[in-house]
A and B are shown apart, each in its own frame.
Chain A
Amino acid sequence: MKRTSKGKRPEFYDSPVLDQMMSMIMVLASEVSVLADEMDTIKRAVSAKAPDIAAELAAFVPDEQALQERETRRQEMLARLFYLVRKDAEETAEQATAKGYLKTIEEIAVK
């Protein structure tokens, strides 16, 4: 599915760079939260069955499938991280502007 919404994105800071940085920070916060949930699941679900989980994790060598899944996950995470930077290019391509957004508000309110 399409990932971004039609309509010029507002800028909240003096520099668009800060808007992009804030998005990255929040995406990283999300990813950290995902990892924390995942670690918690492992701890709760596996620790009862495998008391020596730490040794098993240390001995683990990823196979080709695991390598591919990890790389896919990392690429997807980076795509999320650069969400706004990519939307910037998209808006430039579509010539979506803040002026155009305000014009839509005005046009739609006309009685």
Chain B
Amino acid sequence: MLNTFQQKPHAVLPQPTPQEAARHEFSKSLKQFIQSSLLPGLGPVFAGRAAPEFAKTAGHAPADRHDIRKAMVPDTYFRHYAAVNRISQELLWDGVIDSIDRQEDELAKQAEINSAKNAGKLIIPDDFEVPRYVSALDIHCMPGGYVGADGSEGQITPGALYDRGVYLYAMGYTGPLNDDMGRSACQYIANKLEGFTPTRILDMGCTVGHSTLPYKEIFPEAELWGIDVGAPMVRYAHARAGALGLDVNFAQMNAEKTDFEDESFDLVVSHIMLHETSGKAMPKIFEECYRLLKPGGYMIHADLPPFDLMDPFTQFILDNETYYNNEPFWGAMREMDQVDLAKRAGFPEESIRFDTAPMAIMQQMAAAAGYDEASVTSVSDRDFTAGEFAPGGGWEVLVARK
């Protein structure tokens, strides 16, 4: 498949010059090439070369993902794969920063105009403490991270960087508005949880609100809140929602301990947030979800599945993110027993399960350039392949009901 997916512009999204756009396109093309042409070679290289080499010195075949890592790290093919993967990430952010730096004043103006169109609240406290698992490293190598650096802390530019950068990182697989995870999880709720219509919804770790907005589209009567530990993220999210014509509330809050009252929501969701928290934070987040939900309310976290559902080679591929992409909790999170965490937080055991929410990307056809039937189908109809973005054409969801 030739991937020509193009992001749908909106008022606060950076607009590249033709030359910047060509650079963005190259970083996306490079990622697509790594996924479709370099990644598949890792299996044969491991089986035919790296594993026998390892066995010669270790005296046994590689048994788990740590052994596989030891076997693969010295291999030239793996080195090129991992090095180019990392470089593609660096090229991507650097290319988007060119567009943002050039348009900084215009983006700030547009953010102000469009934030004013959003009737929802925007709450940014003065004395917020950013947790260390977000501030220790710039997650997925995004310069400045979620909180910004060198003066961008008080701006919207880190949000703009995330909005454009993540689209390229995901190679457009998240749809023209970057919202496929939210849209897919939301449709899962609408289709699979029969008779459940939430009236107050909380999206934890919402970043720029890209996954949050589909909940307003699909449940227009509901009061919707997005929270994140990054002030530039919620600031940008508020303006982005305004630019897209939706009234959504955003606040800088920590999902471990929010400012909301007990039993004040009937749906609490998150999308690829848990793997960016920590071993100490995750149980607290589950407990907070339980506290916030009304009886009968649902907690749904969309992330990648835990390691015990995968073979060691798949685990090894996924764990590369831990070591090479500033994702310190990526591997350890997948070793957490999430069902047990939900149980300990108070959710009845019979209500807790993992399930797959099929990608909603089919409905996004023709919403922006490049999303034709053949290419969209090739994204949504795939077998699970570790290392691919959105592996398997669906999103894993952990569901629990209070």
Contact = CB atoms under 8 A, between A and B. Distances in A.
A83 B141 CA distance: 14
A71 interface: no
A2 B332 contact: no
Contacts of B331: 105
A6 B143 CA distance: 7
Contacts of A22: 80, 83-84, 87
Most B-side CB within 10 Å, residue of A1, A26, A101, A108: A1
A23 B22 contact: no
Contacts of B98: 76
Contacts of A38: 18-19, 22
A110 B329 CA distance: 10
Contacts of B95: 30
A10 B83 CA distance: 9
Nearest to B98: A76
Question: Which interface class (under 10, 10 to 19, 20 to 34, 35 or more) fits A?
Answer: 20 to 34
Given A3-B97, A12-B83, A13-B79, A105 B143 contact: no
Contacts, number: 124
A19 B82 CA distance: 11
A59 to B, nearest CB: 24
Given A1-B157, A19-B83, A30-B91, A105 B322 contact: yes
B18 A12 contact: no
Contacts of A104: 136-137, 328
B341 to A, nearest CB: 10
B141 A10 contact: no
Contacts of A23: 87, 90
A29 B29 CA distance: 11
A95 interface: no
B88 A26 contact: yes
Interface residues of B, number: 54
B333 to A, nearest CB: 8
Contacts of A80: 94
A23 B9 CA distance: 30
Given A12-B82, A83-B90, A108-B328, A1 B26 contact: no
Interface in B90-105: 90-91, 93-95, 97-98, 100-101
Given A12-B82, A30-B27, A5 B152 contact: no
A49 interface: no
B132 to A, nearest CB: 7
Interface string A2-32: 1111110110110000010011001101100
Contacts of A105: 322, 328-329, 331-332
A10 B82 CA distance: 10
Contacts of A19: 83
Contacts of A27: 91
A91 interface: no
Contacts of B86: 9-10, 12
A21 to B, nearest CB: 10
Nearest to B158: A1
B25 A4 contact: no
A83 B90 CA distance: 9
A109 B94 contact: no
A105 B322 CA distance: 8
B235 to A, nearest CB: 15
Nearest to B91: A30
B143 A108 contact: no
Contacts of B141: 5, 7
Interface in B12-28: 18-19, 22-23, 25-27
B4 interface: no
Interface string A76-101: 10001001000000000000000001
15 contacts: A1-B144, A2-B143, A3-B94, A5-B93, A5-B138, A5-B145, A7-B136, A10-B82, A10-B323, A26-B91, A34-B23, A38-B22, A83-B90, A104-B136, A104-B137
Given A22-B83, A80-B94, 16 more contacts: A1-B143, A1-B144, A1-B157, A1-B161, A5-B137, A5-B143, A13-B83, A22-B84, A26-B30, A26-B88, A30-B27, A101-B328, A105-B322, A105-B329, A108-B132, A109-B332
